[in-house]
Amino acid sequence: MSRPPPPPPPPPPTTNKDQQRQNPSLQEINIKLIQSGEKERLKELLRERLLECGWIDEMKALCRAFTRKKGRNNVTVDDLVHVISPKGRASIPDSVKAKLLQRIRAFLASTAD
């Protein structure tokens, strides 16, 4: 018995204009967000919220503590990203996540064609 053929690669999102209305892929959503400028607005909103709730200060403090421990000249950007990413992702307030999701959903609904 022969094995079933491998699934075809996903079509490039920009060229397929009459793609069926299925759940859009992350790539497609991302491109829509970028092209409309909404991604930049969302980033600004996120920056504002994270600043207000002290998340950014927390991350800065983590970076400072790590840098102090390792020594200023022994730390790279990649090290810092590696160190703070888990804690950073975990400590985003739920309200911020909810707000952003709400915005993204509203955007997708408004641009659905």
Partner 1 sequence: MSSKINGHVSPQPCPHLLVFRSRNGPKPFRALQDCIRVKPPGGRAAIRREPTEVPRCGTCEESSRSRLYACVACAAVFCHAPLLHSHASDHSLSIPGHEIAVDVDRAELFCCACGDQVYDRDFDAAVVLAQTVNATATTSTSGSTAMQCSVAGSQPENLRKRRRVDYRPWEPDSGEHISRGNQSIPLLDAANASLVSSTQQPWGLRGLNNLGNTCFMNSILQALLHTPPLRNYFLGDRHNRYYCQQKNGAINGTKNSRLCLACDMDALFSAVFSGDRTPYSPAKFLYSWWQHAANLASYEQQDAHEFFISMLEGIHEKVEKDKRKFQSPAGSGDCCIAHRVFSGILRSDVMCMVCGFTSTTYDPCVDISLDLEPNQGGSGKSSSAKSLNSFNVEADCMRPNQNCGISTLKGCLERFTRAEKLGSDQKLFCQKCQVRQESLKQMSIRKLPLVSCFHVKRFEHSSIRKMSRKVDRYLQFPFSLDMAPYLSSSILRSRFGNRIFPFDGDEQDASNDLSTEFELFAVVTHSGRLDAGHYVTYLRLSNQWYKCDDAWITQVNESIVRAAQGYMMFYVQKVLYYKESENQGTS
Angle at 85 between CA 83 and CA 88, to 5 degrees: 115
Q: Which of 30, 68, 102, 111 binds partner 1 (CB under 8 A)?
A: 30
How many residues contact partner 1, by CB under 8 A? 28
Interaction pattern, residues 74-93, with partner 1; x per rule: CB under 8 A? -xxxxx-xx--x-------x
Task: Decide: is 95 part of the binding site for partner 1 (CB under 8 A).
Answer: yes
Task: Decide: is 36 part of the binding site for partner 1 (CB under 8 A).
Answer: no
Cα-trace Rg, the chain: 20
Compute the least distance from the CB of residue 72 to partner 1, in Å.
7
User: How many angstroms separate the Cα of 113 from the Cα of each of 10, 21, 41, 58, 62?
Assistant: 21, 9, 22, 41, 45
